[in-house]
Every structure is written in structure tokens, then in C-alpha cells.
Structure 1
Amino acid sequence: MYFNGSWDAKFDPLYTKINTFHLINGGSVQTNFMASSEKQFIAVYDGFKVLKLPYKQGQDFRQFSFFIFLPDASNALPNLSMKMSSEPDFINRHIPTKKVLVGNFRIPKFKISMGIEFSKIFKNLGLVLPFTITGDLSEMVDSLEARQYYVSQIVHKCFIEVNEVGTEAAAASAAILRAGCAPPIGKPIDFVADHPFLFLIRDDRSGVVLFMGYLLDNLQSSS
């Protein structure tokens, strides 16, 4: 899977400044934050805010957007993540639908690259046969020697970069209605993503989530 999208409204690099990103453990790191004074799609809920950054629409009917689910507290990401995974249709019920005036608006530039080897996990769950020479993958492999094949590793790798222009993301594997509190009309909303948050890329028309991950800091991230 590969995704490369440009923001519908790009960020001006002149406004990108180094600022503090607060960590869950109470520490902090310095990183580049993008800023804007333009209206943004933001929804405010009890304990967290949601930002929607649309991408330019391509030649087909699909419309993609980047979302940040930002907890109010710097150590509240685990609770927000648990809430998201336990409540059906959580994402679709918390999508911003209107642009609002912004006050202090900053989101970090970041780049994540990681890989996970799943073979041991699958074996511990009892899926052992495909990893043995007697696994017989003849119905999956179009080859006369298919019976000699077996799975040696199952690897998932992903990459995502967010900057002033847009987002580039890739992932590959071998072997994702509670109403928001509408802010008073005309009152600017602050959205400062200076602590751990959850992000995702979503097809707005179908609701399908292409990529999802956490930004814990600009050195240690999970996706």
C-alpha cells in the first residue's frame, strides 16, 4: 500500500518553528512545528480534540484526509486509544464537519519508519504448520516445487512523513453518534499538538482507514 497526498491548503514553511513536544513520561524534545492562521476543520469533545486536514482530490471520486486525535492531557493517549478501540464506529462519530477560526495552531512535522517481524507471534498463537516444510503451500504458489516451500518470516514494514506539502506513507505486509461540543460562533479554537496523539489517513467517502499510528515523540513513534 502506498499513499502520497498534498494538502488542500499547504503550510507556509516560513511559519515553521522549533518548539517543545511534551512526552508521556514528563520529559520533552525540541522539534519543528508547522503553523497556520487559516480556518481549520476542528471538533471539540470531552477530553480531546480532532483535527481534519483534507488532501487535494485526485482524478477519481475519492477524497482523503489526515486526522489528529489529540487528548487534552499529555499522558492521556492510552485512555483515548482504549476508548477508540472499544467503542464501535468511534472514528466516524468524531469527524469534524465544519471549519472554525483558530487561535494558537501548531502541529509537528514528523517521519516514522519501522518494521515488525510477526513469525514468533503467530507461532505462539498456534499457527505453526505454514512455517514447516510439511505446510504444503501448493494452493498459494503457482510452481511445480510448491510443496517444498514454507513461510520463513512474516514481516510488516511502514513509513510515513508529514510536512508542509503533505503526506507520504507506505505499508506492506508479506503473508481499522456522539456529538461534538460546538464552539461558540466566532470564538477561535486552539489546537496545539505538542504532546502524544493518534493520527490516521482516511477515505472520507467510504470511511476506510488506510494508515493509523501514534506520535509519541519525533524519535520514538508507533504505527
Structure 2
Amino acid sequence: MAPNRRQMLALSNALAGSLLAGCTGTSPAPQTQRETTETTTDVRSDDATAEDAPDSPDSPAERVAAGNTAFAFDLLNRLSEASPNENLFYSPYSVSVALAMTYAGAGGETRREMRETLHFPQEGVHQGFRRLRDHFAQYEASETTGAPEVSETPETTDRNESGGAEETTAEYREPQPFRLAGANALWGQEGFPFAEALLGTLERNYGAGLRELDFESNPERARRAINEWVADRTRGKITDLLSPSAITAMTRLVLTNAVYFRANWETEFLEENTEEATFTALSGTQRTVPMMSQSETFRYAAVSGHQLVALPYAGADVSMVVLLPEAGAFEEFQRSLSAERLRELLGAMESRQGTVRLPRFEYRSKFDLSKALAAMGMPSAFGPEADLSGMAKGDAGESLSIDEAVHQSYVGVDEQGTEAAAATAVVVAEAATTVESEPFEMTVDRPFLFLIRDEETGSVLFVGRVTDAGAAQSES
């Protein structure tokens, strides 16, 4: 029997997550979880709005989701400038959650820059993310909310010999609502005087408890502990988020988020319909790729030569929106994307019978977001002028700044559905010192973009672009 909406909405509080579990065989560093005291106001007064106000079209969650969509396209264009011909994939939601936790301790010019760059509302940022977290928690079936305990020995029951997630093919092939899981966590230098107001805000709104590590004496062991936790929360898809140089003896706090997503299509592509076809990359090169095919009723639109289609996952609460720009107009179309432009395109969609041909693909992305975020409008957070004084008691926060902001992601799309994972870490360091119409056809044989989007809130969970499907094929 198909689960009802309430049951399906028991599958995703873990989306806003932390990040650690790794590829090393050594035990993680000993760590303690410090109890925090919940407070009734946020760290900064401009976020201290009523937390229990009824939802409305302009609720904190709606404002946060709209801002996240705007940030998603700003970041897409910035990352594309650095890698103009490459496939990209990332989770703007994961990045925003990790930076929202950082924002809770920011002040002055740093706070203003972060708010404008990330498109945060003037008020209710943390309440908005908490409500999104509560909404996504409904999609998570078995995991608990909050920040789970981290054991001395990483769990291995769901891992194969190579350290990756065990493939549950039989389960994956069964039509079921999507699975969305994750967690948030703080990793702090033991003994550092973190502000209780900060810890209370992050635990209450993000489920992020503080775990203490000894960055000063053994930064490598602390790094491995965080990476191991991330890998565990992403089912082995993200194993090396923090590089050896990311954590130093001057690290004081790491704020982490991890996301894992897996879902069947509502109507799966039949493998016997998959055929080899030519895909023309953005560079003009042509390669043969496996092209899936399906004829069905979809939400579809053709606007000014551009095509878009929504491919729903089982349960229809989340869909993949594939945007296929007109031939030769990919870069121009991508630059035109904004939250408003997306609303216009989605508003033009209607139920149509048609055929969709989509390449099977799988690839990974990894980014150091520090330069991108600074260039987008928040440079002070990464320099000596950073104001993260709300993170610590007394003068301890005066010399804190963001040392690194890193993001890593994985996506795999095949006939059965989609598997995706992403993790973000913000490293804070102390300075040394059905409408009747003609059937359509949409053959995705050139560069395209795609979004994984929650239908109810409009939250864009993942964004990707495939400029070369030939380079995005599984090696197996």
C-alpha cells in the first residue's frame, strides 16, 4: 500500500546536516558533546521574531526558500566563470545552512555582507531554516532529529568493502517516496569560550550540538573525525570533504552540513528503451552516451525556444526540473536565470503528453567557496576585519574569521531514479595573532541545467549543469 502524505513526510529532517565520516581506517579523535542551554532569543536581535507565528505566504520559511533560490543562481554563475566548460553540481541549501549557522555569530559589516550575498531576509533567518528543517524531517523515515552521537568506531553495517554505501538495488527499484537525510553539527576547540547564546540558537534551530575536538594538539586527527562523520551521513558518497590543509592548530570551530537524497522516478524509464545517442558538449565535441527515453504526461513548457520539463519522483512531492536552452544559447540562458525568471518559466508549464530523452549520468564536484563568496559580496568574513564576535565570550571572538568554506557533491541519474549527496564545511579560525495539445518531443542532446526542487516550499535542494554528458558516465 502506498504511504500517505504524513508517512511520506517522515523522511527528511536530516537534510540540514553536518559532515563527517571518512576514508581512513583509524578511529576518530575522542570528542565530547557539550550540553547547551536553549535561549528564547537568537544571537542577533534582528532575528528575534516570533518563532511560533502561524505560517503565511510570507512566513520565515517562504522568505528563506525564496532567498536560497536567488543565491543558487548567483552561485551557479560565479562557479561557472571559474570552470566554463565543466559539469557542475552543488546543493545551495547545504551551503546556505552552513553559512546561516555562521551568520548567527556575525556582526557589523560582516553580517550585512553575508545577509545580502546569501539573500537572507532581514528577520527570521534561523526560524525560517528551522521550519524548512521541520518540513524536510517529514521525508525522513528512520533517522532521528538533532545531532546524533558520534561513536568511537564508525558504523560499517551499510558500507561495502571499498568504503562506499552498500547498494540496495532491490529497495531502490521499488517505487517509494524520496529519502532525504542529513544532520548539522559544530566541531569546536575544547576549552574555547563559545557564546552560550550562539550554541543555544544553533541547537534549537539547526539541531546542531557542539562536539569538542583538540585542533591545537592534533589537527589531523580532528580532520579525520569530521570527514568520517560526513562520509557516514552521506552514505559514503562524500569521503574527503576537508583536505589536509583545511584544519590547522589555529582552527577554533567547524560548522558542518550534510545532505543525502535518493528517490525513484514516479514513472521509471525502461532500460530496454535506453539507446546510444550523440551528445554535443558546450565545447562542440560530440560523444556517444546512453540516452534514456520515456513517453508520458509531464509538466512541460517551451518558452522562446527553450524547453523545460518536470520529472516527478515517487510521491510527487519533489521533482527534477530539466531546463534545455535553445541550441547555441546555453550561456546566455544560464546568465538570465534568477528566482523571478524561474517563477516565470515554471508558471508557463502545463500538463502535456510527450517524449523525454535524457542522458544517464553520474559525476562529482568539489569547490573551495571562499573566493567565490568573497567575490559575490562578503569579503570581510574571510579577512582580518571579520566580525564573528558573537561566536565567543568576551574578547575571544575578536580575532575569528572564516578560514575556508568548502563544498563537495555527488549525483547519479539512471533509469530508476536519482541519488545525490552534498556536504558543506565552514572552518572558522583564529588569526595568528492535463491540457489537450500536440505531443512534444524533448531530446536533451546538448548542454542542459537541472534542479531538484521541493514542490511545496519551492526550495531548490540541488542545482546542476551538464555541459559534457560524455564526461559524466560511470566508470563501471
Tell me the TM-score normalized by structure 1.
Answer: 0.76
Give the SS at the match of 2:334.
Answer: helix
Which amino acid in 1 is paired with 2:368? E
Structure 1 position 3 matched with structure 2 position 239: no
Deviations 1:84-125 (A, max 9, x none): 13xx5221222265332225x311111120101134556777
Deviation at residue 3 of structure 1 after TM alignment: 1.6
Match runs of 1:183-202 below 5 Å: 185-202=436-453
Higher radius of gyration, 1 or 2: 2
Structure 1 position 106 matched with structure 2 position 106: no
Alpha-carbon distance between aligned partners in 1 of 2:331 and 2:373, rounded to the nearest angstrom:
25
Partner of 2:336: 83
Deviation at residue 198 of structure 1 after TM alignment: 1.0
Structure 1 position 45 matched with structure 2 position 303: yes
Partner of 2:461: 210
Alpha-carbon distance between aligned partners in 2 of 1:201 and 1:122, rounded to the nearest angstrom:
22
Alpha-carbon distance between aligned partners in 2 of 1:37 and 1:54, rounded to the nearest angstrom:
14
Alpha-carbon distance between aligned partners in 2 of 1:141 and 1:101, rounded to the nearest angstrom:
58
Structure 1 position 31 matched with structure 2 position 289: yes
Deviation at residue 151 of structure 1 after TM alignment: 4.9
Deviation at residue 165 of structure 1 after TM alignment: 0.9
Match runs of 1:7-26 below 5 Å: 7-26=265-284
Alpha-carbon distance between aligned partners in 2 of 1:139 and 1:207, rounded to the nearest angstrom:
31
Deviation at residue 173 of structure 1 after TM alignment: 1.3
Deviations 1:192-221 (A, max 9, x none): 000001100111111111111211012557
Give the SS at the match of 1:174.
Answer: strand
Alpha-carbon distance between aligned partners in 1 of 2:335 and 2:399, rounded to the nearest angstrom:
43
CA contact (8 A) 1:22 1:29 kept: yes
**Aligned-residue CA RMSD in angstroms?**
3.0
CA contact (8 A) 1:92 1:207 kept: no
CA contact (8 A) 1:33 1:109 kept: yes
Give the SS at the match of 2:296.
Answer: coil
Structure 1 position 68 matched with structure 2 position 322: yes
CA contact (8 A) 1:159 1:169 kept: yes
Alpha-carbon distance between aligned partners in 1 of 2:381 and 2:293, rounded to the nearest angstrom:
52
Deviation at residue 83 of structure 1 after TM alignment: 1.6
Alpha-carbon distance between aligned partners in 2 of 1:186 and 1:162, rounded to the nearest angstrom:
29
* Distance change in 2, residues 1:21/1:219 (3 Å): closer
Partner of 2:137: none
CA contact (8 A) 1:122 1:128 kept: no
Tell me the TM-score normalized by structure 2.
Answer: 0.38
Deviation at residue 27 of structure 1 after TM alignment: 1.7
Partner of 1:168: 419
Alpha-carbon distance between aligned partners in 2 of 1:48 and 1:8, rounded to the nearest angstrom:
24
Give the SS at the match of 2:363.
Answer: strand
CA contact (8 A) 1:22 1:194 kept: yes
Which amino acid in 1 is paired with 2:425? A
Deviation at residue 31 of structure 1 after TM alignment: 0.7
Instruction: Give the unaligned 5+ runs of structure 1.
Output: 176-182
Give the SS at the match of 1:11.
Answer: coil
* Distance change in 2, residues 1:131/1:18 (3 Å): same
Alpha-carbon distance between aligned partners in 1 of 2:310 and 2:417, rounded to the nearest angstrom:
13
CA contact (8 A) 2:262 2:418 kept: yes
Structure with the largest fraction of helix: 2
Give the SS at the match of 1:90.
Answer: helix
Q: State percent identity of aligned pairs.
A: 29
Give the SS at the match of 2:445.
Answer: coil
Instruction: Give the unaligned 5+ runs of structure 2.
Output: 1-258, 427-434
Alpha-carbon distance between aligned partners in 2 of 1:24 and 1:220, rounded to the nearest angstrom:
12
Alpha-carbon distance between aligned partners in 2 of 1:122 and 1:65, rounded to the nearest angstrom:
28
CA contact (8 A) 1:110 1:162 kept: yes
Alpha-carbon distance between aligned partners in 2 of 1:203 and 1:126, rounded to the nearest angstrom:
28
Structure with the largest fraction of strand: 1
* Distance change in 2, residues 1:122/1:211 (3 Å): closer
Match runs of 1:119-198 below 5 Å: 119-121=370-372, 127=379, 139-140=390-391, 151-175=402-426, 185-198=436-449
Deviates more, 1:91-100 or 1:159-168: 91-100
Which amino acid in 2 is paired with 1:56? A
* Distance change in 2, residues 1:127/1:43 (3 Å): closer
Which amino acid in 2 is paired with 1:55? Y
